[in-house]
Structures are given as structure tokens and as C-alpha cells.
């Protein structure tokens, strides 16, 4: 019986297992490893960070979707993979050996070596980190009652990419609740996005990007653009404006909550395993395997896949992670059964929709441009589809977003 080891139970890993279980029953044994005993919808982390949703609403037990005849679950941290001996090293369990390994360990926050970023700002790349942000915010609001320090009411988000903007929108929705804790009017809580770009939202055309920026402004979210962050000190973001001399005096913006969403890289396990990677991402072969190792599949945020134009890899998203997982499961099943392998992996994006709070969104889906409530409706449908793909009907009914009428 073939041994398949899947590392990570996020979108890519769990979808691989769910799809494989049906295809290789009785012909292979699957072992799934994750550091948590729950799966989480990473695309909803900002809802937990803002306190708009409890962590329980974006998580479910991994065991819920496993078939115990085919799959064994191990809760542990993966340390490294040794492709030469086909071995996976875990923190607390014995080494695992495999015929096929699927690495799907996802992303971590990337600080780009900026001084003080790790020590003085809060990342948002896991449920624990999202919960820590919310706890910090609540504490700052409580502190304000005692200190009357206006910086306790200020929130800075470093990085106005997709994640930073979705977080800012969710925090705008949370203002009323946070203000109540501080005993102030919601208008006294400020949210500032700081980003190096001159033009935000590069994934959208000018019209849609302008719509997004105006939406943020309407919600009183300040945007400091063309700001090259050089250092984070406790309660202070220091930056240089684009085009300014190296020795020009730095600008600063103060807040007692500084959240870091400038970007992500693939799991550090990738470099610890000596795999050839850039920012923790391995450039996949046509069959989504690591170069020179056809038995090690790299899927989701630990992988880079080049579109046919060969210019830049596809952005890492939950959408492509699920698509890669489907392909990997099909390819592995064909090999286990000794059948013909599928042709090379191809990907077609279904679109991108950004939420700005619970009832506002904008983006492109199914070839059309959407704004406002229709976009918000589509966004929730997309999230429900992702949830259904790993969790099936049971998790969709329990955790899906059906608050569609506002
Ligand atoms: C706020 C936010 C909003 C987003 N919005 C969207 C969106 O609207 N649409 C979209 O398509 N994408 C979105 N994304 C991106 C998307 O979430 C990621 O691309 C996706 O989660 C990647 O899936 P994955 O399976 O590779 O990794 P993950 O979902 O990160 O899963 C990785 C898994 O590996 C486990 N793990 C990690 N390290 C170890 C270890 N050493 N040992 C054991 N287990 C480990 C983790 O616990 C986790 O279960 C968003 C991301 C964020 C943060």
C-alpha cells in the first residue's frame, strides 16, 4: 500500500486529502499533519482580528472531514522534509516516510528585514495572531479610560494590499464596539493605512481601484501612500516619502496599535528543507512537484506557478490553493492506480473580490465588475464555496456566511 503524507490542513492540504480519500480508498494510506487540530479559513482572519467574528466561526475540527479508514491525523509541527530519504521530521512524533508527499504549509508574515517590525507590530497570519490583535485592541481601548492617551485610540495598518484593506474595512465596522469599550465617540478612533505604493489595488483597473480608495476614504480610513517604511518603534512608524533623499529626515506616524500586513512568504519549513525557493515559494513543475523531485508536491502558498505568458507567477490565493489541491489529488491517484497522469496543470482565475466590511465590497468575478452590495453578496458566496470545498455541506451549514440581506 502506498504511503501519502500531506503537510498542512489549510485550503491546499485539506482539499488534497478530501479529494484523495475518495480516489485511493484501499490502495493508499494517507497521513495528514497540522500543528492545530482545527482547519481555519485564512481569508477571514481579519474578521477575527477586528472582533467582528469569533474564531469559532472561521474554524472547524480537522477530524470532521477525515475518513478514518483511509486517513490518519497527527497534530504536530513539521520541522523539515528530507527529499533524499523521503522522510518528514516532526517536533514530537517519530519521522514519517512517504511514497508521495504534499507540502501545503501555507504562509507566514514577511517583515522584509525592516527594523523593529517583528518586535513592535502585530502580524496576522494565523488564528492565534488574529486573536492576539483583537485582544490588544480591546486592551488599548480599556487603557484609554485610564490614560486618556489619544494614541490608544489610533490604529495603523502597515501595508495596504488586499489583506490590509480588508482589515481596515473590518475595523471600520468594529469602531462602534471598540469606542464603547473606550467610552468615546466612534469618530475618535482612527484607522490609518501606510503603504509604499503610489497607486493602491494594482490587481484592479483604474475605475475599480479608485472606487476602492474612495470607499476607504468615505469610511474615514486615512491612507498614507508612497511611504517607504524604514523602522517600527514602540508606538511609531517611521518612513521616508518616495523620491526623498536617503539622508532626508524621516516622517513618523504614531499609534498604540500597529498591525503588519505588508506581505507574506511561504512557510520557513521550505528553506529549512533546503528546497530551492524565493520568499519560501518553490517554482513548481507542470505537475506541481518540486524541481528534480517528482514525488514531492508543493501546493498553495509554498508554491509559485507561472502563467503561460511567463511574466510573473500567479498571486498566491485560496482560490489557486484549492485548484492546485484538486490537481495534485488527481495526479497522485493516477500514479497510485498505475493509470495515465493528467496533462500539465493549468489555472483560470474566477476573479477577485475585496470586502471592505460586512456589507461593502468591490471586484471582478465571472468576467463582470461589481461594487457595493452585489459585490458583498458575491464575496460571501465565494467564501461559502471555499468552505464547502474542504468542509462539505456540514461545515458550510454550520460556518457559512448567510447574512446576505442587509
Ligand atoms: C486576511 C486575508 C484575506 C485573504 N483573502 C483572500 C481572498 O479573498 N481570496 C483568496 O483567494 N485568498 C485570500 N487570501 C489568501 C489565502 O488566505 C491564502 O492564499 C491561502 O490561505 C493559502 O492556502 P494554503 O493552504 O497554502 O495555506 P494556509 O491556509 O495558510 O494553511 C496552512 C496550514 O499549514 C499549517 N502549518 C503551517 N506551518 C506548519 C508547521 N510547521 N507544522 C504543521 N502545520 C503547519 C497551518 O496550521 C495551516 O493549517 C487572504 C489572506 C488573508 C490573510
Q: DSSP secondary-structure letter at 37?
A: S
Angle, helices 162-182/206-218, rounded to nearest 10 degrees: 10
Compute the distance from residue 277 Cα to the ligand 1 centre, in Å.
Answer: 18
Per DSSP (E only), the strands in 285-376 are 289-290, 293-298, 303-304, 351-355, 361-365, 368-371
What's the pLDDT tens digit per position in 34-79? 999 999 999 999 999 999 999 999 999 999 999 999 999 999 999 9
DSSP state of 279: T
Q: What pLDDT, on a 0 to 100 scale, did the predictor assign at position 95?
A: 98
Tell me the HSE value of 272 on the side-chain side, using a 13 A CA sphere: 13
Map residue 175 onto helix, strand or coil. Answer: helix
Please tell me the predicted confidence (pLDDT) of residue 233.
98
Distance 282 CA to ligand 1 centre (A): 16
Name the pTM for this structure. Answer: 0.96
The b-or-e profile of 2-27 (16+ CB within 10 A means b, else e) is eebbbbbbbbbbbbbbbbbbebbeee
Residue ranges lining ligand 1, Cβ < 6 Å: 8-13, 33-36, 42-43, 45-46, 77-78, 104-107, 163, 166, 267, 269, 300-301, 316-319, 321
Active site residues: 166
Whole-number Å distance, alpha carbon 285 to ligand 1 midpoint, is 21
| 286 grid coordinates | 507542470
Residue nearest to atom 35 of ligand 1 (CA): 8
Return the ligand 1 atom nearest residue 355 CA.
8
Among protein residues, the one whose CA lies closest to atom 8 of ligand 1? 43
C-alpha cell at 196: 509604499
- Answer whether 149's CB lies under 8 Å from 164's CB: no
pLDDT at 246: 84
**Reading across the β-sheet that carries 351-355, which strands appear in turn?**
351-355, 361-365, 368-371
Q: Please give the biggest Cα pair distance in the chain.
A: 70
Using CB atoms within 10 Å of the CB of residue 127, give its burial: 0 to 12 exposed, 13 to 18 middle, 19+ buried. Answer: buried
Alpha-carbon torsion 62, 63, 69, 73, what sign?
A: positive
Name the residue at shortest CA distance from atom 4 of ligand 1.
43
Which ligand 1 atom minimizes the distance to the CA of 108? 30
Q: What is the pLDDT of residue 367?
A: 86
Closest-CA residue, ligand 1 atom 6, reads 43
3-state secondary structure of 336: helix
Q: Are 374 and 40 in contact (CB under 8 A)?
A: no
Distance CA 384, CA 391 (A): 10
DSSP for 214-230?
HHHHHTTEEEE-SEEEE
Per-residue confidence (pLDDT) for residue 406, from 0 to 100: 56
Pairing of strands 38-40, 71-75: unpaired
Ligand 1 centroid – CA 187 distance (Å): 33
CA of 91, closest atom in ligand 1: 42
- Compute, in angstroms, the gap from residue 302 CA to the centroid of ligand 1: 10
Closest Cα to atom 27, ligand 1: which residue? 106
Choose among 211, 170, 161: nearest CA to 356. Answer: 170
pLDDT in tens, the chain (406 residues): 999 999 999 999 999 999 999 999 999 999 999 999 999 999 999 999 999 999 999 999 999 999 999 999 999 999 999 999 999 999 999 999 999 999 999 999 999 999 999 999 999 999 999 999 999 999 999 999 999 999 999 999 999 999 999 999 999 999 999 999 999 999 999 999 999 999 999 999 999 999 999 999 999 999 999 999 999 999 999 999 999 988 889 999 999 999 999 999 999 999 999 999 999 999 999 999 999 899 999 999 999 999 998 889 999 999 999 999 999 999 999 999 999 999 999 999 989 999 999 999 999 998 899 998 899 999 999 999 999 999 999 999 999 988 766 5
pLDDT in tens, 347-395: 999 899 999 999 999 999 988 999 988 999 999 999 999 999 999 999 9
Q: Are strands 361-365 and 351-355 parallel, antiparallel or unpaired?
A: antiparallel
Q: Which atom of ligand 1 is nearest to the CA of 301?
A: 26
CB 30 within 8 A of CB 21: yes
Q: Provide the pLDDT for residue 403.
A: 79
Closest by Cα among 45, 44, 46, 34 to 10: 34
Long-range contacts of 347-351 (CB under 8 A, 24+ apart): 347/305, 347/307, 347/314, 347/320, 347/323, 349/314, 349/317, 349/319, 349/320, 350/319, 350/382
Residues 6+ apart with CB under 8 A from 115: 230, 231, 232
Read off the C-alpha cell for 167: 482589515
The answer to whether the beta carbons of residues 305 and 299 sit under 8 Å apart is no
Instruction: For the beta carbon of residue 129, count every other beta carbon within 10 angstroms.
Output: 18
Amino acid at each position: 500500500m502506498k504511503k501519502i503524507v500531506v503537510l498542512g490542513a489549510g485550503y491546499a492540504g485539506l482539499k488534497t486529502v478530501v479529494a484523495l480519500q475518495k480516489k485511493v480508498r484501499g490502495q493508499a494510506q494517507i497521513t495528514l499533519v497540522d500543528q492545530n487540530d482545527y482547519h481555519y479559513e485564512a481569508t477571514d482572519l481579519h474578521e477575527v482580528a477586528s472582533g467582528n467574528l469569533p474564531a469559532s466561526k472561521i474554524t472547524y475540527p480537522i477530524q470532521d472531514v477525515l475518513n478514518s479508514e483511509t486517513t490518519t491525523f497527527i497534530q504536530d509541527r513539521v520541522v523539515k522534509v528530507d527529499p533524499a530519504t523521503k522522510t518528514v521530521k516532526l517536533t514530537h512524533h517519530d519521522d514519517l516516510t512517504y511514497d508521495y508527499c504534499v507540502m501545503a504549509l501555507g504562509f507566514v508574515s514577511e517583515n522584509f528585514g525592516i527594523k523593529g517590525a517583528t518586535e513592535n507590530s502585530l502580524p496576522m497570519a494565523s488564528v492565534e495572531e488574529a486573536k492576539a490583535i483583537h485582544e490588544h485592541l480591546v486592551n488599548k481601548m480599556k487603557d484609554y479610560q485610564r490614560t486618556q492617551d489619544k494614541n490608544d485610540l489610533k490604529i495603523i495598518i502597515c501595508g495596504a494590499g488586499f489583506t490590509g484593506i480588508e482589515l481596515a474595512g473590518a475595523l471600520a465596522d468594529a469602531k462602534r464596539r471598540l469606542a464603547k469599550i473606550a467610552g468615546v465617540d466612534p469618530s475618535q478612533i482612527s484607522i490609518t493605512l501606510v503603504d509604499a505604493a503610489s497607486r493602491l489595488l494594482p490587481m484592479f483597473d483604474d475605475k475599480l481601484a479608485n472606487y476602492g480608495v474612495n470607499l476607504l476614504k468615505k469610511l474615514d480610513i486615512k491612507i498614507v501612500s508612497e511611504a517607504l517604511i524604514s523602522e517600527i518603534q514602540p508606538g511609531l512608524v517611521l518612513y521616508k516619502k518616495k523620491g526623498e533623499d536617503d539622508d532626508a529626515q524621516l516622517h513618523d506616524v504614531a499609534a498604540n496599535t500597529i498591525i503588519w500586513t505588508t506581505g507574506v512568504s511561504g512557510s520557513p519549513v521550505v528553506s529549512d528543507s533546503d528546497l530551492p525557493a524565493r520568499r519560501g515559494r518553490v517554482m513548481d513543475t507542470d505537475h506541481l512537484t518540486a524541481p528534480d523531485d517528482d514525488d514531492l508536491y508543493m501546493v498553495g502558498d509554498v508554491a509559485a506557478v507561472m502563467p503561460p505568458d511567463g511574466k510573473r507567477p500567479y498571486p498566491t490565493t485560496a482560490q489557486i490553493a484549492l485548484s492546485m489541491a484538486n490537481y495534485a489529488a488527481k495526479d497522485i491517484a493516477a500514479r497510485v492506480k498505475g493509470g495515465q497522469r493528467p496533462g500539465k496543470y493549468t489555472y483560470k482565475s474566477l476573479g477577485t473580490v475585496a470586502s471592505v466590511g460586512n456589507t461593502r465590497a468591490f471586484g471582478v468575478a465571472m468576467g463582470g465588475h461589481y461594487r457595493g452590495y452585489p459585490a458583498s453578496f458575491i464575496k460571501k458566496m465565494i467564501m461559502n464555496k471555499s468552505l464547502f470545498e474542504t468542509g462539505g455541506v456540514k461545515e458550510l451549514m454550520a460556518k457559512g456566511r448567510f447574512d446576505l440581506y442587509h
